[in-house]
Chain A
Amino acid sequence: MSEHQHIGIPGYLGVFAFLFIATIITYVVALQDLDGMFFPGANTLVALAIAFAKMTFVVLFFMHVRWQSRLIWMAVVSGFFWLAIMFAYTLQDYLTRSVIGY
């Protein structure tokens, strides 16, 4: 894989611009009471959505996953999949304690 796959300087600057703006937005938005304006948890949702978007851009372009083999995609996805397993199965305990029994 010695072909150089990347998006060139303008591309890198574009990704950077996106990250920069997203960082400003996430900061400003966090000071607004979205929970009150929309629904409880809206602030959390927006903050995490922006973080995910930023992560996706870094992973795809700065880390070149966009051009990598399927195996690398699988490594990335399985990392997050296992993280999701840990979150989900731990929380299925904590979030159901008041539902049944405890």
Chain B
Amino acid sequence: MENVDSINTGEEKGEEKVNYLTNGFSVKSWLLTKDHKRIAIMYLISVSVFFVLGGIYAGLIRLELLTPASDLLESGSYNKVFTQHGVIMVFFYLIPAIPAVLGNFLLPIMIGAKDLAFPRINLLSLYIYWVGGSLTLFALMQGGVDTGWTFYTPYSTTFSNSFVMLVGLGVFINGFSSILTGLNFIVTTHTMRAPGMTWFRLPLFVWAQYATSLVMILGTPVVAITILLLAVERLTQTGIFDPALGGDPILFQHLFWFYSHPAVYIMILPSMGVISELISNFSRKKIFGYEFIAFSSIAIAVFGFLVWGHHMFVSGQSIYAGLVFSFLTMVVAVPSAIKVFNWTATMYKGSISYDTPMLYAIGFLGLFLIGGLTGLFLGSVGLTVHVTDTYFVVAHFHYVMVGGTVLGYLGGIHYWWPKMTGKMYSEFWGRISAMLVFIGFNLTFFPQFILGYQGMPRRYAAYPEEFQVLNIFSTAGASVLGIGMILPVIYLVGSLINGKSAGPNPWLLPGLEWRTSSPPPTFNFEKTPVVTWEAYSFGEDSGLDIEEARRESTVSPTA
């Protein structure tokens, strides 16, 4: 097949080809780059900084909760610590992490494009992210914010004496970064696909990014305007959320959750895309029910907008609305379940290789299952009255956010690390860290389900003594989890220095991103590829010479 020759870009020996990393070394060549891959790398670094910062706050929370008394932090500081943990993790890590890092890097390569449709807007969105992030960091240094990451009125508008305006401004600005990224992905997926790359040949990661972008475009502006209203209200000390005037704090919750529930899907959908890639590729089996997984992403994006009221069951919204939102919450579980069933079916009778990315993927399946099912508990309008604002909720959303998004993110980073850097990390330490994360995570958050069910409320610095044993488990788990998270930083960075060269296709996979050199050249492919194969085809029709790829690959995990 002639097109195969055109896309096999085995490196010529002796002469190092220019790739996107070696294409200019000055600071300016990075800061003014229009290359989506360089922008992704800068996102990777920025997002990691925020992740570490959020992690430090998480550590403080767990240390405080080691003992029943409020001894390490007094209540006011504790409020700030959990608020800042939430704000940083949600707005500056979870939401941008997978789309802005992995999506940015891989979406154009996976569809065979030279770049995103609007490279300059892509760079702009990185700068907006930096501005929003800096403002937030500045506010934290000034003294921080204590309203909870949800900024509920009237506390945030009238009573809080902390830096709500600054942090709000940071989040507002950051929202536009997310909107522009989503816009870029949507346009790129529509107009930049390579010849032969039809919609149903797209990798599921691209479908997931597309669905995520829809949510970003249609949801993020609403939270932007909501926070703007909040800021104006705080500035003028009068407005529509002020009950003293006849305003309505519950309207704030409606507007806030109109975005912030779909924002959960901004976090989890890209991760599901990564998992689809990992499960199929490491089982060496065509994914089961491609169309179902693709459309369930879109379905989640759409139905995700219809369920926000389940965050407000006890807020004073009408019981009728509660019933409707409760029912729709059950509906939105269906597409998520479809995905889980299809992933499991894909693994069935596959030839699974338990490399680090796959370990993360399997961990995701277990944790997301628990996170999703406990979500149904919380979506039931009757049961939720008992567990609202307890650690049950905290445990649930950490199972989804950390168990879902963070594991998907780590799995994706490990999976595509050889493509991004051209280096192979230590498989041994990779597996160790994947297992530490899984064990540490469960040890941290499973006890919190029990604590919540027993009635321990969230957001308090002190608690009754009978809860201490489970809290000690939780804190111990957090330290294991912390080690599991620090390890990748060490061995991944180490691999840059002494890692083995990965070669274009270390995992011996048919996807388009594995058919260009590692790291890829600035315009991704030597020649625009022509796609003649279906996604995830491991047979002859993929046009990939596995034996040749194996010879070229210095690290062959399945050998």
Q: 1/0 per position for A51-92, CB-CB distance to B under 8 A?
A: 000000000000000000001000000110010011001101
Beta-carbon contact of B258 and A86 below 8 Å: yes
Q: Using A71-B190, A85-B306, A86-B258 as known contacts, say yes or no to A93 and B318 having CB atoms under 8 A apart.
A: yes
Assess whether A102 is interfacial by the CB under 8 Å rule. yes
Assess whether A97 is interfacial by the CB under 8 Å rule. yes
Report B-chain residues with C-beta under 8 Å of the C-beta of A101.
318-320
Beta-carbon contact of A97 and B305 below 8 Å: no
Report B-chain residues with C-beta under 8 Å of the C-beta of A90.
251, 254-255, 258
Assess whether B317 is interfacial by the CB under 8 Å rule. yes
Report A-chain residues with C-beta under 8 Å of the C-beta of B229.
none
Report A-chain residues with C-beta under 8 Å of the C-beta of B306.
85, 89
Residues of B bordering A, CB below 8 Å: 190, 218, 222, 250-251, 254-255, 258, 305-306, 308-309, 316-321, 324-325
CA of A93 to CA of B305, assembled, Å: 15
Assess whether A96 is interfacial by the CB under 8 Å rule. yes
CA of A99 to CA of B222, assembled, Å: 28
Beta-carbon contact of B190 and A96 below 8 Å: no
Q: Identify the 7 closest CB pairs spanning chains A and B, nearest first.
A: A93-B321, A96-B320, A101-B319, A96-B318, A97-B318, A93-B317, A82-B218
CA of A100 to CA of B323, assembled, Å: 11
Q: Which of A19-41 contact B (CB under 8 A)?
A: none
A78, chain B: closest CB distance, angstroms: 7
Report B-chain residues with C-beta under 8 Å of the C-beta of A96.
318-321
Q: Which of A79, A85, A86, A99 contacts B320 (CB 8 A)?
A: A99
A81, chain B: closest CB distance, angstroms: 9
Q: Using A82-B218, A86-B222, A90-B254 as known contacts, say yes or no to A100 and B320 having CB atoms under 8 A apart.
A: yes
Name 26 interchain pairs, CB-CB below 8 A, sorted by A: A71-B190, A78-B218, A79-B218, A85-B305, A89-B306, A89-B325, A90-B251, A90-B254, A90-B255, A90-B258, A92-B318, A92-B320, A92-B321, A93-B254, A93-B309, A93-B318, A93-B321, A96-B318, A96-B320, A96-B321, A97-B318, A99-B320, A100-B320, A101-B318, A101-B319, A102-B318
Contacts A78-B218, A89-B309 known; list 10 others, CB within 8 Å. A89-B308, A89-B321, A89-B324, A90-B254, A93-B250, A93-B317, A93-B321, A97-B318, A102-B316, A102-B318
Least CB separation from B214: chain A residue: A78
A47, chain B: closest CB distance, angstroms: 22
Report A-chain residues with C-beta under 8 Å of the C-beta of B218.
78-79, 82
Report B-chain residues with C-beta under 8 Å of the C-beta of A89.
306, 308-309, 321, 324-325
Q: How many contacting A-B pairs (Cβ < 8 A)?
A: 47
Report A-chain residues with C-beta under 8 Å of the C-beta of B317.
93, 97
Interface centre among A78, A89, A92 (most CB of B within 10 A): A89
Least CB separation from B250: chain A residue: A93
Report A-chain residues with C-beta under 8 Å of the C-beta of B254.
90, 93
CA of A14 to CA of B305, assembled, Å: 40
Beta-carbon contact of A92 and B319 below 8 Å: no
B360, chain A: closest CB distance, angstroms: 34
Report B-chain residues with C-beta under 8 Å of the C-beta of A94.
318
Least CB separation from A83: chain B residue: B218
Report B-chain residues with C-beta under 8 Å of the C-beta of A85.
305-306
CA of A3 to CA of B34, assembled, Å: 31
Least CB separation from A85: chain B residue: B305
CA of A97 to CA of B254, assembled, Å: 15
Report A-chain residues with C-beta under 8 Å of the C-beta of B251.
90
Beta-carbon contact of A99 and B305 below 8 Å: no
CA of A71 to CA of B324, assembled, Å: 31
CA of A85 to CA of B303, assembled, Å: 11
Least CB separation from B248: chain A residue: A94
A102, chain B: closest CB distance, angstroms: 6
B255, chain A: closest CB distance, angstroms: 8
Q: Using A89-B306, A92-B324 as known contacts, say yes or no to A100 and B318 having CB atoms under 8 A apart.
A: yes
Beta-carbon contact of A82 and B321 below 8 Å: no
Report B-chain residues with C-beta under 8 Å of the C-beta of A71.
190
CA of A79 to CA of B190, assembled, Å: 18
A35, chain B: closest CB distance, angstroms: 24
Report A-chain residues with C-beta under 8 Å of the C-beta of B319.
96, 100-102
